[in-house]
Amino acid sequence: MTEPGKFKERYNSSREFRMTVNIITGTGLLILTLLICYSFVLHVMPAVMEGGARLLPVQTPDKMDIIDSEDSSSDQIKITGKKIDELRKKLEKQLPKTPYLVVNTTQNRFFMYSGRKLVREGICSTGSYTLLVKTNEQKGDEQKWIFRTPKGIFRIREKKTAPVWKKPDWAFIEEGLPVPSANHPSRYEYGTLGDYALSLGDGYMIHGTLYQRFLGMPVTHGCIRLGDADLEAVYKTLSTGAKVYIY
């Protein structure tokens, strides 16, 4: 091969090599830049933002570092103190005058209070959050029932001993049984609800259970189930009209 040909070949391969290096370097730099920008937005900016806030003078400190050595403006404190007392009294007025019940449906626990004093606490069972669906293939429609303990403020409407459970339609449907007429004897179950029942209205009750092992779990159709001893205590303490807070 002649000298100029060799030179041309060497020159071309060197140029290609340089192009490759440039492309790789350029891509690397671009990726590095993107990483730097991403890290900047993710980490540096939030830190700088909080840092910026620190430069401002503190106007309203959190803690009382030195209380006694400061002269307080006693008039202002008296006014504010009076306002605090009034507000506290207003909140106290909301407290029921008779014992009341608080039910936590997430943890399946109940708390019975008299004023601010906790009288009794324990486990209970609340709604299972089941949606029962019955499909009517002939009509092509569906019936639905939601088994959930309602939340809010309720009052004890009625108190019963040796309650009898009048089974609603869903109690038969979920067992695959035919639904009997409204007052059919098979609708009535004795002993299932325990020794006592306290009605909250709309079919919801606080009652006992045969399934003591399921206490503390969300297994009911909406009612609140208590153990025998707890049920007796609640029945004897809460009067008709007592408040029940369910959350």
Partner 1 sequence: MKKTILIPIIFFGIVILLLGAFSVMSFLSPIKAVKDLNLKYYDSAFSSGGTLKDYLFEKEAAFLQARTQMAETDSVCLSIDLSDSLVLLEMQGIMLLKARIIRIEKSNIFNRLHKGTYLEYFSKPLEIDSEYSTIPKEAFIIKQAPKDTTETAPPVAKPDTLHKEAVCFNLYLDRNLMIDIRQVDTIKNEQYLAYHKYLRKERISNQIRSLMKFSVPHYEPWIRIDIPAADAKSIYKAMPDHGQVAVKL
Pick between residue 51 and residue 140 the one whose CB is nearest to partner 1: 51
Q: What is the per-residue binding string for partner 1 in 82-111, x denoting contact by CB under 8 A? A: -xx--xx-xx--xxx---x-x-xxxx----
Q: Which burial class, exposed, middle or buried, applies to 215 when counting CB atoms under 10 A from its CB (0-12, 13-18, 19+)?
A: middle
**Given 23, 24, 177, 210, the residue binding partner 1 (CB under 8 A):** 177
Residue the block writes with tokens 């159709």: 221
Pick between residue 52 and residue 185 the one whose CB is nearest to partner 1: 52
Quick check: 80 binds partner 1 (CB under 8 A)? yes
Quick check: 153 binds partner 1 (CB under 8 A)? yes
Task: Give the pairing type, strands 100-104 and 109-114.
Answer: antiparallel
Quick check: 229 binds partner 1 (CB under 8 A)? no
Pick between residue 164 and residue 177 the one whose CB is nearest to partner 1: 177
Bridge partners of residue 161, in order along the sequence = 196
CA 244 – CA 158 distance, rounded (Å): 13
Binders in 21-40 for partner 1, by CB under 8 A: 22, 25-26, 29, 33, 36-37, 40
Helix (H) or strand (E) holding 243: strand 243-246
Looking at 57-65, 158-166, 182-190, 231-239, which segment touches partner 1 (CB under 8 A)? 57-65
Residue the block writes with tokens 């009067």: 239
Pick between residue 64 and residue 182 the one whose CB is nearest to partner 1: 64
Binders in 203-222 for partner 1, by CB under 8 A: 214, 217-219
Q: Which burial class, exposed, middle or buried, applies to 169 when counting CB atoms under 10 A from its CB (0-12, 13-18, 19+)?
A: middle
Integer angstrom CA distances of residue 111 from 25, 42, 197, 199: 69, 45, 17, 18
Q: What's the closest the beta carbon of residue 220 comes to partner 1, in angstroms? A: 10
